[in-house]
Amino acid sequence: MNPIRSITRAMACAVAFALPCAAQEPKPVAEPNWPELAQKDADRIGLLVRKLEIGGETESEKARTQLVALGPGVVPHLLRRLALPRQTDAALAATAQALDAVVASEHAPLVAKVADDRALPARRWAMRWLTLHVDARWREVYARHAAPPDDPKGEAPREATPPDPEIRFCANLALAALRDTDALARVIETCHTQWQERAELVGKVLPAARSQEMASWMVRQMRADDERSRVTGLRLLRSLAPKDYAGAIAIYLDAGEASVKREAINALRAVVDSAPPIETMASFTAIEESKKWKERLK
């Protein structure tokens, strides 16, 4: 065989094999982003948001429904609305509610980026959303916003000096739900004085950490000479204690302080029966409820 023809044929085969390989090289993955709205829909956003914020109840609800129907493409527009100066609390709340209604779990990576937005209301919304959808994937985001103001390891969000307490509480609550006891200790300190404001969010998020381990850690923080520490501890045990921990909670039914006895009853209601707390409980009612629980848990 002609040696030149052999070499030419070999080179042609090599090129033929190389071409499919080159065609199969992976394309760069585009960075995820919110979808864009059609221009006709984008033009409606301003009017719908104004109706959402200042319309009557019926008009506001109708505007929210229309915004949600436009899908996740409305999110950048709503986030820009949150960034406007001199917004009323009612307007901010209405916009945040619309965001909650349109943002779904698959958008979590995009929400995590908003947690570092320049606008404080946008950061607040994002961190609350990430906390309500607590996920270990965002542990670094939570940790960055959870550190105490004097912690050199903490990196405060931009434009927040000192770190915003709302964002910090959400971040610590999320870490506590991921069974971080340092974060839970900071949640306890806030709940000592702000339980009424924080109870609903705690009840939604902290049960993710429910376990014997976390319940036992919580009980170890409840000092016998500190009524406040036992009251707060029992409140958090509603979310942390598994059902078979009821016996350890029942010990507090014999507490001398009415507040501790009441919270022991409420903790048992939550842990054993998944029942809501009795927020206003007369002393006589507490005594009767205590007797019932002791009999039941024999």
Locate 22 and state its tokens.
């080159």
Q: Which of 17, 112, 97, 12 is CA-nearest to residue 52?
A: 97
Q: What are the contacts of 63-70 at 24+ separation with CB within 8 A? A: 64/94, 64/97, 64/98, 64/101, 67/98, 67/101, 67/102, 68/98, 68/101, 68/102, 70/37, 70/41, 70/44, 70/45, 70/102
Q: Which of 110, 112, 82, 77 is CA-nearest to residue 96?
A: 82
The reply to whether 153 and 203 lie within a common domain is: yes
Measured between alpha carbons, how far is 255 from 178 in angstroms, rounded to an integer?
A: 31
CB 145: neighbour CB atoms within 10 A? 27
The dihedral through the CA atoms of 201, 205, 207, 210 has a sign that is negative
Residue 29 in domain: no
The reply to whether 89 and 111 lie within a common domain is: no
Residue 19 in domain: no
Residue 21 in domain: no
The reply to whether 95 and 174 lie within a common domain is: no
Q: Which of 100, 76, 75, 78 is CA-nearest to residue 87?
A: 78
Locate 252 and state its tokens.
């507090």
Query: Residue 176: CB partners within 8 Å, gap ≥ 6?
Result: 183, 184, 187, 206, 209
CB 265: neighbour CB atoms within 10 A? 25
Full-model pTM: 0.84
Look-up: residue for tokens 């024999």?
Answer: 298
Q: Which of 251, 264, 257 is CA-nearest to residue 283?
A: 257
Residue 12 in domain: no
Measured between alpha carbons, how far is 52 from 94 in angstroms, rounded to an integer?
A: 7
Number of domains in the chain: 3
Residue 134 in domain: yes
Residue 11 in domain: no
The reply to whether 179 and 215 lie within a common domain is: no
Domain boundary among 164, 192, 207: 207
Measured between alpha carbons, how far is 291 from 194 in angstroms, rounded to an integer?
A: 30
Give the model's pLDDT for residue 57.
Answer: 85
Residue 67 belongs to what domain range? 39-99
Residue 252 in domain: yes
The reply to whether 290 and 229 lie within a common domain is: yes
The reply to whether 291 and 232 lie within a common domain is: yes
The reply to whether 73 and 133 lie within a common domain is: no
Domain boundary among 207, 242, 260: 207
Measured between alpha carbons, how far is 241 from 212 in angstroms, rounded to an integer?
A: 6
Domain boundary among 150, 174, 207: 207
Residue ranges with strand state E in the chain:
none
Residue 2 in domain: no
Q: Digits of tens for pLDDT over the chain (298 positions)? A: 555 455 445 545 444 444 444 445 555 555 678 999 999 988 898 899 888 888 788 898 999 999 999 999 999 999 999 999 888 999 999 999 999 999 999 999 999 999 999 999 999 999 999 999 999 999 999 999 997 655 555 544 444 446 799 999 999 999 999 999 999 999 999 999 999 999 999 999 999 999 999 999 999 999 999 999 999 999 999 999 999 999 999 999 999 999 999 999 999 999 999 999 998 899 889 999 999 999 999 8
The reply to whether 118 and 66 lie within a common domain is: no
